[in-house]
Chain A
């Protein structure tokens, strides 16, 4: 009797102190509901910003408020879904000069580390694979918020930005001196998988 009570207390304590183990905080990125955006922007001639996005992607992340440094994320992007609001330009972006989507239909990002800071921002490092070339990139992350939604789910969202040179991923096409780097603007909302 005594023994059983002690075991119950022990497992209760374990459950209370190790919520991360008791409940894996895994999230699926809400692409289905359209609450996630993989966008890019690049200067046009140095006179304005051109924006575009990838419409078809999927991914998951895990994030535990008690152990945020163990957070990780994986995203797979269908490169053919590039959309810069101009059919002729998108056709060009899909061909060999740029994304070469028939050769490289997918781009992926897999995180390698997540370093939260005290002010609600964090540094996410990971490997980006684009046109078959894998290179480390660093994404500046802002935690936007998390909580219950009205439909019985739990959601968590982040915004991230990074930039890299087109050349780093084998895009040699000369767009001019102002347009060598592209910025990525990532807006991600995940639904917790309970």
Chain B
């Protein structure tokens, strides 16, 4: 039940998948919203603090997710054209990689002048790379572009899942919803 099998995903993998999905979309919306706030908005300071703290939490969840994937079997892919299979592998690789890059670039904005990154006042992550030429600006541009890329790819990923469910009528989506038995 907890672990993956050859047929379907276990509960841990399913929960981590949807948790990461929800947090990524939430952080994307929060990030776009917070940069438009004006100086006298109550959330002018709270929203970035929340964005940074949740971002670090997301990093921990991602590490857990990758670790869990490494010590679990992967369900067999549903049958499909070889090209689609290859695109799926590439898409999944990007969806694993991009969140790490988005988080790293965000970290480089906040720590550009050597300030540590505070996580809800509980602990802080020290700065490492600092003082690169226009570090905060470059890291900011990269952070935004990669975040847009990530959310766009996640959208395509979701459409592909719906295509599997409604057109191919296979178990791809159901497996990720924790259904024990694949439909046939």
Residues of A within 8 A of B (CB): 80, 85-88, 90-91, 94, 173-176
Q: Using Cβ atoms and an 8 Å threshold, which residues of chain A touch B48? A: 88
Q: Using Cβ atoms and an 8 Å threshold, which residues of chain A touch B135? A: 87
CA distance A94 to B137 in the complex (A): 9
Interface extent on B, as a size class?
10 to 19
Per-position binary interface string of chain B over residues 118-135, scored 1 when its CB falls under 8 Å from any chain A CB and 0 otherwise:
000000000000000011
Other A-B pairs, 7, CB within 8 Å; known A88-B48, A175-B39: A86-B113, A87-B110, A87-B112, A88-B110, A90-B113, A173-B39, A176-B39
B113 & A80 in contact (Cβ 8 Å cutoff): no
CA distance A173 to B39 in the complex (A): 9
Q: Shortest CB–CB separation between residue A90 and chain B, in angstroms?
A: 7
Chain A CB count within 10 A is highest, among B48, B110, B111, B136, for B136
Per-position binary interface string of chain B over residues 137-171, scored 1 when its CB falls under 8 Å from any chain A CB and 0 otherwise:
10010000000000000000000000000000000
Q: Using Cβ atoms and an 8 Å threshold, which residues of chain B touch A174? A: 38-40
CA distance A94 to B109 in the complex (A): 14
B40 & A176 in contact (Cβ 8 Å cutoff): yes
A91 & B137 in contact (Cβ 8 Å cutoff): yes
CA distance A109 to B136 in the complex (A): 28
Q: Using Cβ atoms and an 8 Å threshold, which residues of chain B touch A90? A: 113, 136
B115, CB-defined interface residue at 8 Å: yes
Q: Which residue of A lies closest to B135 (CB)?
A: A87
Q: Using Cβ atoms and an 8 Å threshold, which residues of chain A touch B112? A: 87-88, 91
Q: Shortest CB–CB separation between residue A150 and chain B, in angstroms?
A: 32
A87 & B113 in contact (Cβ 8 Å cutoff): yes
Q: Using Cβ atoms and an 8 Å threshold, which residues of chain A touch B137? A: 91, 94
